[in-house]
Structure 1
Amino acid sequence: MSIGNSPEDDRPSLEDDRPSIGRALQQARIDAGLTVDEVSSSTRVRIPIVHAIEQDDFSRCGGAVYARGHIRTVARAIGLDPEPLVEQYDAEHGGRPAPTPAAPLFEAERIRPERRRPNWTAAMVAAIVAVVGFVGFTLVNGADSGDDSNVAEGPGAGQTATPTKTATTKPTEVKPDPTDAIAAVPKDKVTVKLTVVGAKSWISAKSHNGKLLFDGTLRKGDSKTFQDDERVDLILGSAGAIELYVNGKKIEDKFESGQVERLSYTKGDPEVG
């Protein structure tokens, strides 16, 4: 009778015969007729990571937690039960970490003294009360000293205070001098100023070479000023709504409301073109 291992002990176990995780996933993917790109698209696991997992390289997963998640996701996508593969992963890579007991942590947190924060609200209230009290004290003292000065400077006994009449003068109206406006405009240019005094008016203004200076609608109160070296051409859509100054001089022509006027002005005294 020989002493040693029996023939049954020499036989490999069933677990040793099973394929690796990567090989099992790769074979199941091929059997399902799927490519790595298709698995990556359906699982959102990047293509290099799928290739690495099929080669049993889990270093690109970013840790054991992510590796388990990728194994489950890929296995479900190719129709494979993920739990045996996850158990195999845990057996080959040291298993899941033991959960940390919650009771000691809770006790430590309960025993730890709580730091008291400074009460900024109370400090601000106290500062405001102090400021208000100081201002009130200052106002009361100022009022008392003002009363004493009034008594000292008042009329003597038996005298009647005579009310003093304050002379009021009306402000003098200063009318603008038309010559000032004329003097303000340059002599070597044509200056045209438009002001809408009616409801609104469409305006178009061009320089002597046809350059468009303005084209649009102005409403009541709007003003525009145009200048050119030689000539300014105007089209007034509603001339009666316009007050017109040319080279500092007001144009007295009576335009009718709604009337379209085409005007041209040059340097010097304004002339209607």
Structure 2
Amino acid sequence: MSIGSSLAEARRSAGLTVGELSARTRVREALIHAIERDDFSQCGGDFYARGHVRNIAKVVGLDPEAMVHEYDELHGGVPLPVRAASVFQADTPIKIRESRSPNWTTAMGVALAIVVVFGVVKTMGGGEETPTAEVRPAVPSPSMPAAAPEAPRKPAALTGGRRGGLVVLQVKARRSSWLDIKDMTGRKVFSGVLEAGKTSVWRADKGMQVTFSDGGAVSLQVNGKNLGAPGRRGQVVNRAYEAPAPQPRQSPEG
């Protein structure tokens, strides 16, 4: 039995109409009809299709992961995840080293100062001719390589969260976007669509792993700190938000 047929039969067995299933999953009725016919072309890509299959299977009583696995087997397998560094680090501030392009104004100033010094030495030396080397300020030529772009900045360490592991994630959707949130043990916290204009808050001990279907569609706060958008518009982004490790207490001197 195909994926669409399995979902349709499970829906009927659960006594749900397409309209009732649409209200529970927030998937459009037309899209549900298409999925039950094994037509996934209207989903907007494999990523969204997996999310719809998972949500529908969960509501109609099927194993969501098994249905998504069957979908992956038929459509080329699971995409490789995007690894991202955790934004939580120790309380010690991070020193950010920036690569700077050469300061040609400073270089020209130094060169001119050298020319002036040679001129003073020549004047004070009377009639004697003091050989001087011609000094010219360095000027970038077309053959010189362009300065390296500024290195990407690492996220600053977040402080102010509760020590002991509680992470509070607030997500505000500028556009409707699908999210998948799990705690650090892999237990599902939320999986579904956050509607445009809505703001939701989730809490989990030790941290959370989040998949954003559109990194530019949402803005984040983690433990009260604004992190902005996790990615670019239309970019699928995986992020991990871990609680800062507790610092050892220092014994007083003496």
Same fold by TM (over 0.5)? Answer: no
Bigger Rg, structure 1 or 2: 1
More helix by share: 1
RCO greater where, 1 or 2, for CA within 8 Å and sep 6 or more? Answer: 2
TM-score scaled by length of structure 1:
0.31
